[in-house]
Amino acid sequence: MSETSRTLALKSSEFRRGREASWQALETLLDRAERRGIRALAPDELEQLPLLYRQALSSLSVARAIALDRHLLLYLEDLALRAFLVVYGPRRDLAGGIRDFLLRGFPLAVQGARWHVLITLLVLLAGCVAGYTLTIADAHWFYTFVPSGLAGDRGPDSTRAELLDDEIFHPWPGLVESFVVVANFLFQHNTMIGILSFSLGIAAGIPTLILIAYQGLMLGAFLAVHAKLGLAYDFIGWVSIHGITELGAIVLCGAGGLLVAEKVLFPGRYSRVESLARVGGQASQIALGAVLLFFLAAILEGGFRQLVSDTVARLAIGGAVGACWITYLSLPRTGGADDGRP
């Protein structure tokens, strides 16, 4: 072989010349898709994208095996990653996502956590019974359980007439006062409680259970104060109109928290972090649904509670709303959660 007079033929240069056009084509598509979203691509370009993406992946594999050209390899690594991010980005727009969430995601997530819902419900009831028994025996427990901001003027010292006129059968204060001011305050307050009890699940669930039990304690304390004055029946009617939705939402938040807590405590055959990620999507769908319920509860509470001033009618509305929720959440839905992890 002559050492001096042959033409150098580099396999890597041939490789690059042969494939460069498809890389450039992919890069042009990616530039547009990254700047203006995947909708900026024409239908035939959308068809091309996965093909070009696979070609880039195969180029990358070849380059990893043969390339001594550092820049080329780095370029292909970047190109493949950019194409991967565009091809496997979130698949739905917001509207489609909301529809899917309401029709399948939320009910399916709740159905998958039915034991957690049951446990949370029991804890809430236990808190309620404890609050009731303690406050019946000694009215001063009320001040321990209920912060003054929530109690308002109500308490063990309230008279029967005060409770009836100012609370249970208080006349409707008008659109502004009830919907805009009261409902908004209640929504923000309740949502915070819900989100807290959900996210504290990450601390092994103990704070979640304490928070849920505490909500029960407050309810029990209120019930006891009213029961002492013989108003238990009217109070339950007054609470039921929104309380079914609101307590349901609190229970769901707690259940979401427990779902997370379970994976923190018993990660099973995955690592703890991996295990958390597997359940996080389901848990957060429950929490998001619960926020929606809080919103509806606040509207019911701020408005309809005082508009309907008859205890039997209130109980009927509360029961009907509750039955709606149970049906909505427990109706069987087709297929697995589409948004579940593979």
Partner 1 sequence: MTAVHERTARFLNPIGRAKREIVTPEGVPLQVELADFGERLGAFLLDFVFLYLGILLLAIALGLVLGEFDADPRIIFTLVLFLGFLIRTLYFVSFELAWRGATPGKRIVRLKVIDRRGGPLRQNAVVARNIMRELEAFLPLSALFAVAGPGSAWERLALAGWLLLFALLPLFNRDRMRGGDLLAGTMVIALPKRRLLVDLVQATEQAEFTDRQLRAYGAFELQVLEELLRRPDNAETIRLRQDVCARVCRKIGWDKPVPPGEVLDFLRRFYTAERAFLEREQLYGRPVEDKESAGGRD
Least distance between partner 1 and beta carbon 27 (Å): 7
CA distance 196 to 176: 29
- Enumerate residues 85-104 that contact partner 1 by CB under 8 A: 85-86, 88-94, 97, 100-101
- Interface residue with partner 1, options 22, 48, 111, 284 (CB under 8 A): 284
- Enumerate residues 293-322 that contact partner 1 by CB under 8 A: none
By CB under 8 A, is residue 341 in contact with partner 1?
A: yes
Give every CB contact of residue 178 below 8 A, 6+ residues apart in sequence: 172, 302, 303, 306
Q: How many residues bind partner 1 (CB under 8 A)?
A: 86
- Interface residue with partner 1, options 283, 297, 300, 317 (CB under 8 A): 283
Cβ nearer to partner 1, comparing 245 with 282: 282
- Give the three-class secondary structure for 342: coil
CA distance 337 to 109: 8
Cβ nearer to partner 1, comparing 92 with 160: 92
- Interface residue with partner 1, options 41, 49, 52, 80 (CB under 8 A): 80
- Interface residue with partner 1, options 81, 103, 320, 324 (CB under 8 A): 81
- Enumerate residues 116-175 that contact partner 1 by CB under 8 A: none
Question: What's phi and psi for 154, nearest 5 deg?
Answer: -80, 155
> Would you give the binding string for partner 1 spanning residues 186-225, x where CB under 8 A is met?
-xx--xx--xx-xxx-x-----------------------
- Give the three-class secondary structure for 187: helix
Q: Could you give the C-alpha distances from 24 to 52, 55, 58, 121, 272, in angstroms and in order?
A: 10, 12, 15, 59, 42
CA distance 291 to 253: 8
- Interface residue with partner 1, options 37, 152, 319, 336 (CB under 8 A): 37
By CB under 8 A, is residue 47 in contact with partner 1?
A: no
By CB under 8 A, is residue 70 in contact with partner 1?
A: yes
By CB under 8 A, is residue 271 in contact with partner 1?
A: no
CA distance 260 to 201: 5
Least distance between partner 1 and beta carbon 237 (Å): 28
By CB under 8 A, is residue 11 in contact with partner 1?
A: yes
User: Is residue 325 a contact partner of residue 107, using CB atoms and an 8 Å limit?
Assistant: no
> What is the DSSP secondary-structure string of 234-250?
HHHHHHHHHHHHHHHHH
- First-to-last CA distance in the chain? 57
Cβ nearer to partner 1, comparing 131 with 205: 205
Cβ nearer to partner 1, comparing 45 with 162: 45
Radius of gyration over every alpha carbon of the chain, rounded to an integer in angstroms: 30
By CB under 8 A, is residue 77 in contact with partner 1?
A: yes
